[in-house]
Amino acid sequence: MKSVGAQLLVSTPYLAEKYQSWSPELLQPAPLSCEQEQLLTVFYHGSASHLEDVQWLRPVIEEVLSRSPILNFEIIGDQCVNRLFRGMPRVQVLHPMKWPTYVSMLRGRGRSIGLAPLLDLPFNRARSHTKFFDITQAGAAGIFAQGDIYGSVVRHGENGLLLPMEPSAWVEGILDLTNDHSLRDALSLEARKCL
C-alpha cells in the first residue's frame, strides 16, 4: 500500500502511534448527521396465524417506504416473515415474544401508526378487534380493515381509520396519517377513551 502512496486514516491515538511510520491522519469520531424531520414508526404486530395478512401487507409497506423516507416499519414474525421483508429498507422484524414482554415493549417505545389488515378468510372471520387495543396501548393512531370486526369499535375518522382491503387505499391512508400529525394525535387520543 505504501508503494501506491495510500493515505492511512486512523480513529484513535493508539492506532496513530502504532502506525506512525505511515504518517496517518487521525480522524475524530463525530455523530451521524440526522435529518431534523422526525422519523415515524408504522407497525403490524401479528403471529404466525396472520401470515396471509402479512403477505398482503408487504407490497403496501414497500410502496409506503419508497414514497416516504421518514417512515420505518416494525413487524413481529418468524423466519418466514423475515425472508418476506429481507432487503427492504427501514424494516425491523422482531422475534415473537411472550405476552408480558410484548405489553412492556408496547409501552416502551414510540410508535406512530398501527396497522390491522384483515383479509376475508374463514379463520379471520372468527377474530375479535383486540388489535385495536394493542395499537391504542402503543399510543398510535390505527388503520383497520373495514367490516364488522373493527367496525364494532372503530368510528372512521374519530378513533381510527376504517379502510377497504385495497392496497392503494392503505398506501394513501398511511401516507395521509404520516403527513398529518394533528389527525394522528386526535385519533390516538379518542381511541384511548375506549381503554
pTM: 0.82
26-75 pLDDT per residue, tens: 988 777 655 556 789 999 998 878 899 999 999 999 999 999 999 999 99
**Mean pLDDT of the 118-146 span:** 94
Range with the lowest mean pLDDT among 3-7, 39-43, 179-183?
3-7
Task: From residue 81, give the alpha-carbon distance in Å to each of 89, 136, 158, 167.
Answer: 15, 24, 32, 19
Three-state DSSP class for residue 167 = helix
Q: What is the overall mean pLDDT for the chain? A: 91
Determine which helix (DSSP H) or strand (DSSP E) holds 1, and give its type and residue range: none
pLDDT of 35:
53
Q: Cell triple for residue 53?
A: 395478512
**Mean pLDDT of the 88-99 span:** 94
Domains annotated for the chain, with CATH where assigned, are 1-30 (no CATH), 40-192 (3.40.50.2000)
pLDDT of 142:
97
Beta-carbon count within 10 A of 171 CB: 19
